[in-house]
Structure 1
Amino acid sequence: MDITRSQNSIKLVDGALLLLFASILLPSNIKSIAIGLFAVVSCTHFFRSGNTFNTKFFFLNSAVFTVMVFTLFYSDNLEYGVQRLIMFLSLVVFPLCFSMYSQRDINFLYRNKYKYLFSYIITVVLFNVIPFLWFYITHYSFIEMLEHFPMTMKLNVGKYGMHAIYLSMHCSVALIFSVYLLQAISTKWKIIGLIVLDLILICFLLIYAKKGSMIGLTIVAFLFILFRRKKITIRPYLFALIGLMVLIVAIPRTRDKFLEFKKIEAVYEGAPTSTNIRYTIYNVAKDVILDSPILGYGVGDFRSVLTDKYQELEIPVLQEGRYNAHNQFLSFLIIGGVVALLAFLSTLIINFIFAVRFNNELLILFIIFYGILMLTDNILEKEAGVVYFSLFFNFLTAKSLFAIPNHNGLKR
């Protein structure tokens, strides 16, 4: 009876996990319910199965959230700090849920991984295509859509609104996932269908024209090709990578973005391009960090100390925009100093080491991609970023960390 109940409950976990992978199509309030459902069925399965809680997995993958909770004690703005911790909650919820599974559970879930990855890919495509077609039919010409669609997705779709940075991120992650699906499927029409979806994702990636995602995707694609040992499997991926790079250079919108690198200067000395704005922010953030390098300013005050510095230095562009640090690593330094940064880096590095040890190639590329992306944006400080990073990260790290033998030489 207990075995049957356990088998039924892990099937509920499978369904809840599939819903999360497809949850980009859910509005923000329903998405929270989906996360809550996943937590509930995970707890239910834990008690029905009699699993042992994986303490090491939990503390490793939730380390940075633990540090941020501690910083609340020396934050002046407790209300804002609590709001931020709620936003960061995925960084502890998903480690908690995956810590309640056994090795057998992880093996069961991983047998369905291609189903999860495909659901994410198809929903990301739909999330972009449906509003594009709607606004094209009802509001704009095709040329106007190419120009205004990123802003339209940010301002005009209600609870589905998302900044182009995160839209570009989702397109890139979906493309990374798709290469693993392409290796797993052999049916001709399925391969063609997935390639069509990839082409759609690339089109939207070029429309959003975000340098961080394009650079990260290009580097990850190059590394993926290096991992391939058979020349026959290298060629199509190499041609695809070259084609993407040619498009980036050939299309004026994306080419102009990269031409910003030719002259990088502070916004009060040059044009207020996205590159110059980030360069200026990083210089301001450096001064803020040096004033409190060990413990930072606390999760309640990290935004205000940065915006106060903009006021003090009288930089109009930054004052009006009230920009965050635009670098996740710098942001953690401002929140919790070196302690918070080391906690986050330890999580990434230790999991990266085990990913290499157990040949978890998808996790290796995932960490590299997000590491690059976090150099230019605060990916974890919006729901559209933190939920999916934590979900994918904990799902992928479970494969490696649950494969580590325990002190008796047996797998968990």
Structure 2
Amino acid sequence: PFFQKSIGLLIILWISVWMLEGNLKDKFNMLVKNQVFFWALSSVFWVQLIGLFLSIDLNNGWFQIEKKLSLFIFPFIFASVSFSKQDFIKILNAFCYGALIAGVLCIIRSLALYSSSGDPNLFFYKSFSYFMHPSYFGMYINTACLVLLVKIHESFSNGASNQKKAGSILLLCFALILIILTNSKAAILTLGIVLILYFVKILLFDKKGIAFLIFSISIIIIFLSLVFFFPKPVDRISIAYESLKNKDNTKSTDDSNGTRLRLMIWEEALDLIKEKPFLGYGTGSSKSILTEKYKQKGMSFAEKGKYNAHNQFLQSGIENGMFGIITLLVLILIPFFIAIKYKNFIALGIPILIGVNFLFESMLGLQSGIIYTGFFLSLITFALKNNPMFSSTK
């Protein structure tokens, strides 16, 4: 979650190290071996690049290409190298602990601000999530939850010490609290899905994991208790529920309501896709096209904020038509099915996290989403595919 502004320099440094390591011939041979998956995972970038020919806003179009360049770089690098199981675990652990440290810093900052203002809202949503938008931070913390959940399961299976079990359980409980503090509906929903899927996995395939099964049920109960204990998430979920229940009346109500506004935006985005379903309006055109649509429909709040589609599939559909949507599905489904093949639940959970978040946010509009998506989906695909040892992982 740190060093968002320096991510470009870090990627350049990473590429430099990759080149200075040598063995370029071996790396090229491995890239050729993995070329089908490389082209498939980087197809989002290529469709965006081709979409520039249709763009009505080339300045923004080239800016989008610059931001999404990592969707080419990550598949390229990962397709050319082999990762051991230990390397894979180290990367996941580093990300997990980094996200939790960011959460600690957010709490410290909120406490410091609260001591002078006394405003409890400082502990929730944008006021709490200092490093990035709460939806993205929630996705990062959900990844940490995924890693910790598998770590705890392994500690039960391997007979680890009670101290290690307790440490991981405490970290997971802390991560659950962070999810609540982000106050992100998408993060809460996604975590619920992941917890239930893992519970079902244990129920169906781990007949000896009775202790962990009881633990999983306890975690689900704790999570639900936290959701309803904190008033902010409950309020947002209640408002979202009412908006969905009255979705047929969205046009007659205040468009500043988050969920209601999102439903209205989705409706307009779908109308735009229907007008140009095959090729779309061109890369970088969605902002100006949507803003004009908001103006026509009297959606002043969305027009003033120049809101994107708040759904990556719709966003890509507007800019690149069905080809944009298909490449997104390819990007998610390839690592998803590879994770199923190698029975790796962490690798399976990450595409699920990304896919669900794509439904509620245009995740490839900001570096926080682009880097996470490109890095982890490429890592999952090629780390598992290039190393048969992963076939025995959790």
| Normalised-by-shorter TM-score class | 0.7 to 0.9
Among 366, 370, 375, the residue aligned to 1:391: 375
Could you tell me which residue of structure 2 aligns to residue 410 of structure 1?
A: none
Instruction: Please state if 1:133 is matched with 2:108.
Output: yes
Letter in 2 for 1:196: L
Contact map agreement 2:357 2:363 (CA 8 A) in 1: yes
Aligned counterparts of 2:278 and 2:182: Cα–Cα separation in 1 = 37
Could you tell me which residue of structure 2 aligns to residue 190 of structure 1?
A: 164
Deviation, 1:33, is: 1.7
Aligned counterparts of 1:142 and 1:57: Cα–Cα separation in 2 = 53
Letter in 1 for 2:319: I
Deviation, 1:395, is: 1.0
Could you tell me which residue of structure 1 aligns to residue 233 of structure 2?
A: 254
Deviation, 1:355, is: 2.3
Aligned counterparts of 2:232 and 2:113: Cα–Cα separation in 1 = 25
Could you tell me which residue of structure 1 aligns to residue 188 of structure 2?
A: 214
Instruction: Please state if 1:93 is matched with 2:73.
Output: yes
Could you tell me which residue of structure 1 aligns to residue 306 of structure 2?
A: 322
Residues 348 and 149 of structure 1, relative CA distance in 2, 3 Å threshold:
closer
Contact map agreement 1:153 1:163 (CA 8 A) in 2: no
Q: TM-score, normalised by structure 2?
A: 0.87
Aligned counterparts of 2:352 and 2:380: Cα–Cα separation in 1 = 13
Could you tell me which residue of structure 1 aligns to residue 6 of structure 2?
A: 30
Which deviates more, 359-368 or 210-219? 359-368
Instruction: Please state if 1:232 is matched with 2:211.
Output: yes
Letter in 2 for 1:398: F
Letter in 2 for 1:91: L
Among 322, 326, 335, the residue aligned to 2:319: 335
Could you tell me which residue of structure 2 aligns to residue 245 of structure 1?
A: 224
Could you say what the CA RMSD is over the residues aligned between the two structures, in angstroms? 2.2
Aligned counterparts of 1:334 and 1:244: Cα–Cα separation in 2 = 37
Could you tell me which residue of structure 2 aligns to residue 123 of structure 1?
A: 98
Among 37, 50, 54, the residue aligned to 1:57: 37
Aligned counterparts of 1:123 and 1:372: Cα–Cα separation in 2 = 23
Q: Cα deviation per residue 1:321-377 (whole Å; 9 max; x = unaligned)?
A: 211100011111011000111122123223322322222322222112221111111
Aligned counterparts of 2:363 and 2:128: Cα–Cα separation in 1 = 18
Q: Cα deviation per residue 1:89-130 (whole Å; 9 max; x = unaligned)?
A: 2211100101111xxx22x2x223232222212211221222
Letter in 1 for 2:57: N
Instruction: Please state if 1:175 is matched with 2:154.
Output: no
Deviation, 1:166, is: 1.3
Contact map agreement 1:43 1:100 (CA 8 A) in 2: no
Could you tell me which residue of structure 1 aligns to residue 23 of structure 2?
A: 47
Moved over 4 A (4+): none
Q: Cα deviation per residue 1:160-203 (whole Å; 9 max; x = unaligned)?
A: x4111112221111111211222345243333223222222222
Letter in 1 for 2:215: P
Residues 140 and 335 of structure 1, relative CA distance in 2, 3 Å threshold:
farther
Local SS of the residue matching 1:225: helix
Contact map agreement 2:138 2:184 (CA 8 A) in 1: yes
Which protein has greater RCO, CA pairs closer than 8 Å, 6+ apart?
Answer: 2
Instruction: Please state if 1:66 is matched with 2:49.
Output: no
Letter in 2 for 1:205: I
Among 251, 256, 271, the residue aligned to 1:287: 271
Contact map agreement 2:331 2:377 (CA 8 A) in 1: no
Deviation, 1:312, is: 1.4
Aligned counterparts of 1:352 and 1:138: Cα–Cα separation in 2 = 42
Could you tell me which residue of structure 1 aligns to residue 391 of structure 2?
A: none
Residues 181 and 33 of structure 1, relative CA distance in 2, 3 Å threshold:
farther
Could you tell me which residue of structure 2 aligns to residue 83 of structure 1?
A: 63
Aligned counterparts of 2:14 and 2:161: Cα–Cα separation in 1 = 32
Local SS of the residue matching 2:383: helix
Residues 327 and 339 of structure 1, relative CA distance in 2, 3 Å threshold:
same
Q: Cα deviation per residue 1:239-276 (whole Å; 9 max; x = unaligned)?
A: 10121012213322111222121343365423432110
Aligned counterparts of 1:75 and 1:48: Cα–Cα separation in 2 = 37
Residues 372 and 46 of structure 1, relative CA distance in 2, 3 Å threshold:
farther
Instruction: Please state if 1:374 is matched with 2:391.
Output: no
Residues 357 and 132 of structure 1, relative CA distance in 2, 3 Å threshold:
closer
Residues 319 and 138 of structure 1, relative CA distance in 2, 3 Å threshold:
closer
Q: TM-score, normalised by structure 1?
A: 0.83
Residues 362 and 188 of structure 1, relative CA distance in 2, 3 Å threshold:
same
Letter in 2 for 1:44: L
Aligned counterparts of 1:282 and 1:218: Cα–Cα separation in 2 = 24
Aligned counterparts of 1:94 and 1:46: Cα–Cα separation in 2 = 18
Structure 1: unaligned runs, 5 residues or longer: 1-23, 405-412
Local SS of the residue matching 1:25: coil
Letter in 1 for 2:340: V
Which deviates more, 374-383 or 251-260? 251-260
Structure 2: unaligned runs, 5 residues or longer: 389-394
Contact map agreement 1:90 1:387 (CA 8 A) in 2: yes
Aligned counterparts of 2:329 and 2:22: Cα–Cα separation in 1 = 29
Among 302, 307, 324, the residue aligned to 2:286: 302
Q: Cα deviation per residue 1:368-400 (whole Å; 9 max; x = unaligned)?
A: 222111111111211111101211111111234
Could you tell me which residue of structure 2 aligns to residue 356 of structure 1?
A: 340
Aligned counterparts of 1:401 and 1:215: Cα–Cα separation in 2 = 30
Could you tell me which residue of structure 1 aligns to residue 252 of structure 2?
A: 269
